Amino acid sequence: MATCGEVLVKLLEGYGVEQVFGIPGVHTVELYRGLARSSIRHVTPRHEQGAGFMADGYARVSGKPGVCFIITGPGMTNITTAMGQAYADSIPMLVISSVQSRSQLGGGRGKLHELPNQSALVSGVAAFSHTLMSAAELPGVLARAFALFQAGRPRPVHIEIPLDVLVEDADALLATRPVNISRAGAAPSAVAQMSAMLAKAQRPLILAGGGAIDAARELTELAECLGAPVALTINAKGLLPSRHPLLIGSTQSLVATRALVAEADVVLAIGTELAETDYDITFAGGFEIPGALLRIDIDPDQTVRNYPPHLALVADARSASQALLDGLKQQSLTQRNSDWGQVRAARLRADLDRDWDVATRAQTLFIDTVLQALPDAVFVGDSTQPVYTGNLTFNPEHPRRWFNASTGYGTLGYALPAAIGALLGGIDSGKGRPPVVCLIGDGGLQFTLPELASAVEAGVPVIVLLWNNQGYEEIKKYMVNRAIEPVGVDIYTPDFIGVAKALGCFAQAVDGVAPLRAALLEAHDRQGPTLIEIDQARWMLGVAQ
């Protein structure tokens, strides 16, 4: 007899799942019954939050949903922060948990790991949460989850399986086949209207977000056809390569870039929420779109949030971009102002480069040093100063090479477990997977420091770059600027080198560009994780000299 838990593993294999993150417990052992015989690899984090962050990083690099097996009760409360980050950034994540037996649901009898309503608790950070009331429901709810991942706005999905359902006879489901869904194409009438408006525009501009991450070629061609400057959100970095003459980066929160956006007579926003954390990071407002706004998004609800559009199109970013390109071929493009496009984009980039302060330049040098040593690196960031700087100044050559938790939900401790997941999700080019660099501060690392042991156990050669400023320096500055006496920000800083070595990692501290480059090259050749500590004050002093 094949149990529901065994059939679940078989069905996940059918949907192409190659990796599961989870911590086995007495309520989830039935999920593991068929795992050892499957092709799916299992990685054990040191905390369920780490499992969720690993799944998030895996999904961002691979484009596939990250999958977690999570215990009832505390396991689910632990993973909700990670689900919140994935929900905010539209990352596909499948969280499968156990729950009390059907007759015990909501009973309040003091059962192990019992919650009054586990599904209700997590529904706020999930696209949907479903309680499986019989094994026969399993294929249908999995099809629903993967339909969302494949064709909708991808966000976490939670499926909880009662303990008695997990052991049900599910032999009849073994022949079930996966259901694959194609994304919605672009409506011809809306494409025609948008194409006509873009063709007539004197000063077109494109704002692209993470929802367009798989449309790099089409979006680049569309920008070139229009001569439109392109601004990218943090999650969209790499859609245009760093030296593309139309790229204006991810600087929408800066005055100079806002001025350029305000000059545009038609703005095409594609796959972006137009939300605070990408456009109003000063938290004081001020980002405006006076021109005609055209919005393209896979989520109908999102097309009218934050900034109401002149015209909206619900479609996949790639098919919509290609449809607009085809539509523009049928139009006569208006003669563009020679001071727009590449000229205006170049002027903006020059203005920004001239105005970066000393700290920004020093942290940009730090990131550039990493890139010189590891040109194919994937950067996974936390909320820390070099990440804030990189969000403004760094432009990778390809998508899915720069993402972090400093925007959107904004959790701390994300980068280390997410980097582990990202390395596992990397595509092997024949020369191995691309190196993954975790950019994290001393405060953030203390949230998930034990996950270094997970990386050692999994043999994951992630490179952890620890930017140490001995506390929560950005929050301290914020308090001082608001005339609040700093409290709770000058935290104890442990011996990270000693801790990392105790957990099985290679670890060292470096000062300066040359030692950092050498340490990175050595780390790249190791089989396991490396922690490299950079003292902020010493780095800044070295750069100043």
- Tell me the pLDDT tens digit for each residue of 506-536: 999 999 999 999 999 999 999 999 999 999 9
Q: Average the pLDDT over 250-278 and give the result.
A: 94
Q: Are 8 and 17 in contact (CB under 8 A)?
A: no
pLDDT higher than threshold 60 for residue 191: yes
Domain 188-352 fold: Rossmann fold (3.40.50)
DSSP state of 144: H
Please tell me the predicted confidence (pLDDT) of residue 57: 97
Tokens describing residue 253 = 């929160």
- Distance (Å, whole) CA 352 – CA 346: 10
Predicted local distance difference test score (pLDDT) of residue 545 = 58
| Lowest-confidence region among 173-182, 273-282, 374-383 | 273-282
Confirm if 72 and 78 have CB atoms less than 8 A apart.
no
Assess whether the region 188-352 and the region 356-544 belong to the same CATH fold: yes
- Measured in degrees and rounded to the nearest 5, phi and psi for residue 126 equal -135, 150
Higher pLDDT, 101 or 389: 389
pLDDT value of residue 281: 67
**Does residue 323 have a pLDDT over 90?**
yes
Contact 454, 50 (CB under 8 A): yes
pLDDT at 101: 80
- Largest interatomic CA distance in the chain: 74
Residue 170: which pLDDT band, with cuts at 50, 70 and 90?
confident
Give the whole-angstrom CA distance, residue 132 versus residue 63.
27
Q: What is the pLDDT of residues 125-167, one digit of tens each?
A: 999 999 999 999 999 999 999 999 999 999 999 999 999 999 9
CA pair distance 380, 439, nearest whole angstrom: 6
Residue 544 has pLDDT above 60, yes or no: no
Q: Which long-range contacts (CB under 8 A, 24 or more apart) does 335-338 make?
A: 336/202, 336/203, 336/227, 337/202, 337/203
The pLDDT tens digits of the residues spanning 5-30 come to 999 999 999 999 999 999 999 889 99
Sorted by where each begins, the domain ranges of the chain are 4-173, 188-352, 356-544
**pLDDT number for residue 428:** 66
Q: Distances in Å between the alpha carbon of 303 and those of 2, 155, 268?
A: 45, 17, 12
Q: How far apart are CA 190 and CA 310, in angstroms?
A: 11
Q: Give the pLDDT of residue 136.
A: 95
Q: What is the pLDDT of residue 393?
A: 96
Q: Which CATH number fits domain 4-173: 3.40.50.10540, 3.30.43.10, 3.40.190.80, 3.40.50.970?
A: 3.40.50.970
| pLDDT > 90? residue 541 | no
Q: Which of 31, 65, 24, 66 is nearest to 48 (CA)?
A: 24
Residue 15 to residues 149, 179, 316, 427, 482, Cα–Cα distance (Å): 11, 8, 21, 18, 51
Per-residue DSSP letter, 50: H
Residue 425 carries which DSSP code?
Answer: H
Mean pLDDT score of the chain: 93
Handedness of CA 292, 297, 300, 303 (dihedral sign): negative
Note whether 354 and 527 are within 8 A (CB): no
Query: 94-98, 406-410, 541-545: which has the minimum mean pLDDT?
Result: 541-545
% of residues, the chain, pLDDT over 70: 98
Say if residues 374 and 214 touch (Cβ distance below 8 Å).
Answer: no
- Structure confidence by residue, pLDDT tens digits, 405-437: 998 899 999 999 999 999 999 876 566 789 999
What's the rounded Cα separation, in Å, for the pair 217 and 455?
Answer: 34
Model confidence, pTM: 0.95
CATH class held by domain 356-544: alpha beta
